[in-house]
Amino acid sequence: MRSEYPQVKVSMFDICISNLSLHWVNDLEDSFIRISKFLLPDSPFIISMFGEFTLCELSSSLREAEMKLLGGFHPRVSPFIRLSDLASLFSVAGFKLITVDQDYVTVRYPGVLELMQDLSRMGESNCTVGRNTHLRRDVIKLAEKIYRERYGERDGSVPASFEIVY
């Protein structure tokens, strides 16, 4: 057993709950399989995770700004799971009576910098290995312009979309 997994007996727990943390796991399939073994038969595994459309406005604005200014881009927003892939993971891990769904939450910010600062304060930075951590000012300025043109609200705020899958 790998060191990041605790030593737990098989069929020891009657429920497992995870709220908005599994998007940090590198190998979801292995984790789901391990969790299914730790649970008593027919016990629930209740989760919520960020889905693939989370922060889509920020991601596309940063990508386009880097393409225009640098001729290429670095992924600035971590990849998130598709709803259909989540259902498949439950099935592969051996769970029965699988139900998956999604909700969308939109949070409005004064601007892109405030959004990025909020994400940083929550510890929700990009987790991609080997990523370029430097983001040039001119890229941020152009991304802000693109973001406001495409998604900006009449009151001057910018929306940030969060897809929650569960």
Nearest residue to 164 via CA among 95, 104, 100: 104
What are residue 105's phi and psi, to 5 degrees?
A: -125, 135
- Does this model's pTM top 0.85? My answer is no
- Considering only residues 7 and 87, tell me which one the structure prediction assigns the higher pLDDT: 87
Degrees (nearest 5) of the Cα angle 83, 85, 91?
110
Any idea how long the chain is?
A: 166
pLDDT (tens digit per residue) in 6-55: 666 778 899 999 999 898 888 899 999 999 999 999 899 999 999 999 99
pLDDT of amino acid 72 = 87
pLDDT (tens digit per residue) in 50-80: 999 999 999 999 999 999 999 988 878 888 9
Other C-beta atoms within 10 Å of 154: how many? 5
